[in-house]
Copies of this chain bind each other. A is one copy, B any other.
Amino acid sequence: MGPDAIFSGLPGDRDTASLVLDAAERLVQTRGFNSFSYADVARELELTKAALHYHFATKADLGEALLERFAARFASALDRIDAKPARAPDKLAAYADLYLDVLRRDQMCLCGMLAAEYRTLPERMQVIVVRFFNDNEAWLTGVVERGQTEGTIDGAVSPHDAARSIVAAFEGAMLIARPFGDVAWFQATAATVLNGLVSAASVPARGQ
Report B-chain residues with C-beta under 8 Å of the C-beta of A185: 164
Q: Mark A182-208, 1 if CB is under 8 A from B, else 0.
A: 000100110111011100000000111
Q: Would B156 and A207 count as touching, CB distance under 8 A?
A: yes
Q: Would A178 and B32 count as touching, CB distance under 8 A?
A: no
Residues 142 to 181 of chain A near chain B (Cβ within 8 Å): 156-158, 161-162, 164-165, 167-176, 178-180
Q: How far is the CB of A164 from chain B (nearest CB, A)?
A: 5
Given A172-B173, A175-B115, A175-B171, A180 and B133 contact (CB-CB distance below 8 Å)? yes
Number of interface residues of A (CB under 8 A): 50
Q: How far is the CB of A158 from chain B (nearest CB, A)?
A: 6
Chain B binder among A15-23, A50-58, A116-124 = A116-124
Given A118-B178, A130-B180, A179-B115, A193 and B167 contact (CB-CB distance below 8 Å)? no
